[in-house]
Structure 1
């Protein structure tokens, strides 16, 4: 808790104590300023967004053309509800406050001198060589350099152009090409190997060399900035690279689905006769800003609802309940390929006001489980006769049937987050690394599945990082390469018109697919705190309605007024971009309403039911769709974390 939050908590306690005298039977119905019994939150933030053109001038990127492609607002929704044709808003509205600038020549000279000093000569990557081998490439990449991405992020964070406050969301759009000191280059991130296998993807894979980076937290163990900054840079003069597949210029459909895939080429390909017209540059940079930096990184939507309502209301304690089906003879996978301390530590970055712990139980495979596993990944057959769901639901159905045996901490913790690990040796199974599932009814999160085999270990992965990633989905985090744009209603997936969104993975987030870090980014933390602020606000509103409907409501009046005060502080902190304080105040408001419920004789455990009812009332039917058309192949909203 911050010092400010602690002081406000004490103030609330004082107010409750001062006004705890019994109210008369004729006391009027309380009137609140911020507490809205039975309603959704109304959290508003004017989000500062700095966009800095670094290496582009106004003639190359016209500001009016650029800004015409940006969104004015964003209203986050629970994405998993959308799969079922439902709309569930959080009660948050963002209004973007853009500040656009062009770095002057002096700053550009200093910055590119810095880049040159960080550049280390390196062989051409396989992707640069593939680019050179094509017919339509504008030029050949003649040499290559690796530049440490975190070092560039830190330089930009603490040496920005005058007037740019990198404590607020800041996007640097970079172009080195065309200067006399230009060097062909890619950005790298090394030194953070898989904790279970020791394999360093950033050092050993050409596919992990990048054109963008950012989102590092102040306290990141490997490359921490030391102070909170919010920076992401994208450099079209880097590459060509694998992630956005901009090394391919001879064809438009690069993923084989018979639909052109929209990508941003390297800077020199924006030319007459090149991959893209120079006139398209401003629009492309606007797409990177809107659909990647804002929609997927800085102000995104939760994949799943974050409140995790339990029989005891919103949880204070969360157990990471690992259950491992051990099927690799001679290998104790749960002991060898899971690092419990790291798992708890990383997930605590998101749920920092909850107490998290971990336990594991090994479970033997049985005939039914084997049939479900094989049916889902090999034969495509359902394992329950007459089941209405497709084979992609096999593991969900099996584990749901036997959920009781995984609930080994029932009554000890508020919420058990079910981590289900399948360890096997049949290399024909073809599982992903993992996926987070929903309940196949309304999009509520259910189980987290992770997979391990000799082939997966040989590829460099254990179980720990997959568990962190998939549990991150369960707690509401989306990938930085897929999401939703609220103004247009566009579903952003890394294919077709939004193939370029793969570049969102190039940030310091555990939720990406690039495997060069195992932390949650500053953007992840900001979004999680915002989501949880809304969740606790909603929980306070929902339970307050039950309190006021009770015969003894007057006994809880003082606590309801304390909640009203706390929510006012939460809204103010939210508007001032103080997300952790906002989360703290909203939780204090919820706790105050719980106290009111107890005094009024209302079972506070009904808060979970109240929240479910409130969420149901808040939903609006959307366009009907069949969520299982992509769940059949595990391509649901979380997406499977697959082998590269």
Structure 2
């Protein structure tokens, strides 16, 4: 819901002379420059976006046509609210400042020489072989080479064309095909195996060979860039690959839903008689930049409200409260397949201003829980008499009813993030997990993760699923689904936006590519922006409660101090200093909170009102249709996908 608190203004008597002013008249309400009691923040950023065509020239890509497909602005909003017919904007407006250039011949020669040096001969992937088996393919892939994606990202980050600052968002659109030194190739990322099973997806699976990469942080333990850079590249001359299913050219509907799926083919397929007309290339590259590079990676919308449903205000301390239903005979799944230190370490990179810790409790599976699980997974039957929600809500309802026993840190920390794990020895192979909402207004509720012999056999433990799903709970979306505010379009990886699967090919824990367990630089930037807005809005809401208090005049100086700090936060935000902006917005909120304490204003009034509304809606049965993200084992987006 749109969270607004009514501004209670002081009644000001008409002034007809100093001697006529009543002694008990209320003082005029103070005015502020940045603090807006009861209102939303107004954060603005002109976002620099460098776009470099590397291997394309003006005959290939018309700049005017390309630019016409790009968005001018973006306003993030909470996506889970949309599923319930409500709009909750964050109070952020981005205006894009595009700098487009075509790399000159000297730079192209230098870059492709480096690609050639990095190329390691390799067998054709099963997807390249499948492409060759099509009847409408333009050519056959006759050889293959592996190229290490992080190495290419790092080279581009530190060797950009003149005038390109890779500390700012930079997208390289690459085409090697057509040059005399061209080699068929795919990009790889190896060496970061699942921490619980030791399975290296990047090494073992052809489905993890890619045509794009980027978003690595400066301090990534495996492939860190050393300093902050914001680079993502997409190479349509790599592949064909599994993730975007562009190895299939004979069919338009690749996911079997009866609708054509819009995918970007390899560059050689943009030809007369090929998969797509050469006239479509400019528009397709604009789609990749707009809907993938910007909407899904660099300037996104949060999945859930980042302030978290504490009922008591914004949390400082968060307990990752793991609870495992142990139903796998002979296996202690929580001990064998969770690395608590890793879970805390990775999530702390995202919520770096929170104090995080982890604990786990094990529970046996009672008859009711088993009935709810089987009704959710096998029979699709509700597990409560008179249940108004569909069986999809079985696990939510059971755990909501039994939440008290999991609250082992209530009072010690500000927020317990509920991680609910199901370990089963049965024939359970998917999903890996999901982050659920409250089935009322889109507020996040429980994080569910699953482990079984079949899941282990496929290479997954519980640690990475917990990190991924907790990332959702903290507001992060997949890099293959999101929102385009200018078009008012929900981006899902199917139909007209099937190509958004390309967003998974970046160094993000939130992707399905399973090549790393870290949050990307883009994730960090977006989370810091979201939290800046959340603290800004919380300060505004709380200021309204302070001004409504009887002794509000005692803390006017405090509110003015908060106003000054919020101004500093806005300036830092506009200068792309996201971490500074977040810290300053939190500081301003804390100043207002201390003022609230001095005058007896309830610092959690707004949060409690939202919580009460949700509870009342649940009791009355007034729920909307739910929307879930079920995280599966494989990208496997096509019924024809190969292992």
**Smaller-chain TM-score bracket:** over 0.9
1: CA distance between counterparts of 2:269 and 2:127? 16
Paired with 2:181 and 2:361, the residues of 1 have a C-alpha distance of 58
Deviations 1:535-587 (A, max 9, x none): 00000000000000111101221211111011000000000000000000000
SS in 1 for 2:327: coil
Partner of 1:12: none
Correspondence 1:188-587 to 2 at 5 A? 188-427=188-427, 429-587=428-586
Q: Separation in 1 of the partners of 2:98 and 2:210?
A: 26
Alignment of 1:627-642 (within 5 A): 627-628=625-626, 631=627, 636=628, 638-642=629-633
Tell me, in whole angstroms, the C-alpha distance in 2 between the residues paired with 1:249 and 1:593: 59
Per-residue deviation, 1:641? 3.4
Q: Is the 8 A contact 2:312 2:608 kept in 1?
A: no
Question: Cα deviations across residues 434-483 of structure 1 (Å, max 9, x unaligned)?
Answer: 00000000000000000000010010000000000000000000000001
> Structure 2: how far apart are the matches of 1:613 and 1:531?
24
Deviation at 1:89, TM superposition (A): 0.4
**How far does residue 610 in structure 1 lie from its aligned partner after superposition?**
6.3
Q: What whole-Å deviation, never above 9, does each CA across 1:457-513 have from its counterpart, x for those lacking one?
A: 010000000000000000000000001110111111111100000000000000000
Provide the secondary structure at the position in 2 that maps to 1:326: strand
Name the residue aligned to 1:609: 608
Give SS of 1:539's match: helix
- Gaps in structure 2 of 5+ consecutive residues: 1-23, 615-621, 636-643
2:309–2:444: 8 Å Cα contact kept in structure 1?
Answer: no
Helix, strand or coil at the partner of 1:99: strand
| C-alpha contact (below 8 Å) 2:191/2:202 kept by paired residues | yes
* Residues 227 and 73 (structure 1), Cα distance of their counterparts in 2 relative to 1, 3 Å cut: same
How far is 1:431 from its partner? 3.4
TM-score (norm 2): 0.92
- For residues 534 and 316 of structure 1, the distance between their equivalents in structure 2, rounded to whole angstroms, comes to 16
8 Å contact kept, 1:377–1:430: no
Distance 1:236 1:604 in 2: 52
SS of 1:627's equivalent?
Answer: coil
Aligned partners of 2:607, 2:555: CA distance in 1, in Å? Answer: 19
Where does residue 15 of structure 2 map in the other structure? Answer: none
Question: Contact 2:218/2:228 (CA < 8 Å) preserved in 1?
Answer: yes
How far apart are the structure 2 equivalents of 1:164 and 1:587?
33
Q: Is the 8 A contact 1:377 1:431 kept in 2?
A: no
Name the count of aligned residue pairs.
606
1:171-213: per-residue Cα shift (whole Å, max 9, x none)? 0000000000000000000000000000000000000000000
Instruction: Flag the 1:405–1:643 CA change in 2: closer, same or farther, 3 A.
Output: farther
| Alpha-carbon offset, residue 44 of structure 1 | 0.5
- Cα distance in 2 for partners of 1:613, 1:294 equals 36
Deviations 1:286-330 (A, max 9, x none): 000000000000000000000114244210000000000001111
Counterpart contact for 1:543–1:610, Cα < 8 Å: no
The alignment partner of 2:421 has SS state of strand
What is the aligned partner in structure 1 of residue 157 from structure 2? 157
Report if the CA contact (8 A) 1:43-1:534 is conserved.
Answer: yes
Within 2, Cα distance between the matches of 1:614 and 1:279?
Answer: 53
Q: CA 1:364/1:318 → structure 2, altered by over 3 Å: closer, same or farther?
A: same
Contact 2:440 2:623 in 1 (8 A): no
- 1:391-448 CA-partner distances (Å, limit 9, x unpaired): 0100000000000011110000000000000000111x45300000000000000000
SS in 2 for 1:369: helix
Equivalent-residue separation in structure 2 for 1:197 and 1:555 (angstroms): 60
Q: In structure 2, what is the equivalent of residue 3 of structure 1?
A: none
Aligned equivalent of 1:13: none
Ranges in structure 1 where 5+ consecutive residues have no aligned partner? 1-23, 616-623
CA distance in 2, matches of 1:610, 1:103: 55
Q: Secondary structure at the match of 2:483?
A: strand
Instruction: Determine the C-alpha separation between the residues in 2 that align with 1:364 and 1:643.
Output: 29
C-alpha change, 1:371 and 1:75, in structure 2 (3 Å) is same
Tell me whether 601-610 or 200-209 shows the greater mean CA deviation: 601-610
Matched with 1:600 is 599
CA distance in 1, matches of 2:341, 2:323: 16
> CA deviation digits over 1:590-644, x for unaligned, max 9?
00000111111213243523677999xxxxxxxx99634xx5xxxx2x3323345
Inter-CA distance 511–348: structure 2 relative to 1 (3 Å threshold): same
User: 1: CA distance between counterparts of 2:253 and 2:600?
Assistant: 63
For the residue of structure 2 that corresponds to 1:195, the secondary structure is coil
Distance 1:387 1:26, change over 3 A: closer
1:45-79 C-alpha deviation (Å, 9 max, x unpaired): 11000000000001110000000100000011100
Structure 1 residue runs of 4 or more that deviate by more than 6 Å after TM superposition? 610-615
Number of the residue aligned with 1:63:
63
Match of 1:618 in 2: none
CA contact (8 A) 1:459 1:643 kept: no
Distance 1:61 1:626, change over 3 A: farther
Task: Give the distance between the partners of 2:268 and 2:518, measured in 1 at CA.
Answer: 34
CA deviation profile, 1:6-36 (whole Å, cap 9, x unmatched)? xxxxxxxxxxxxxxxxxx9975422110000
Structure 1 residues 625 and 251: alpha-carbon distance in aligned structure 2, compared to 1, 3 A threshold:
farther
Structure-2 separation of matches of 1:312 and 1:470: 23
Distance 2:259 2:309 in 1: 42
Contact residue 512 and residue 634 of structure 2 kept, 8 A: no
SS in 2 for 1:639: strand
Taking the aligned partners of 1:379 and 1:203, their CA distance within structure 2 comes to 37
Cα distance in 2 between the residues matched to 1:127 and 1:447: 37
* Rounded Cα–Cα distance in structure 1 between residues aligned with 2:40 and 2:613: 8
Given that 2:309 and 2:443 are in contact with CA atoms closer than 8 Å, whether structure 1 keeps it comes out as: no
- Alignment correspondent of 1:620: none
Contact kept in structure 2, 1:292 and 1:501, CA below 8 Å: yes
- Check whether the contact 1:25–1:554 (CA below 8 A) recurs between aligned residues: no
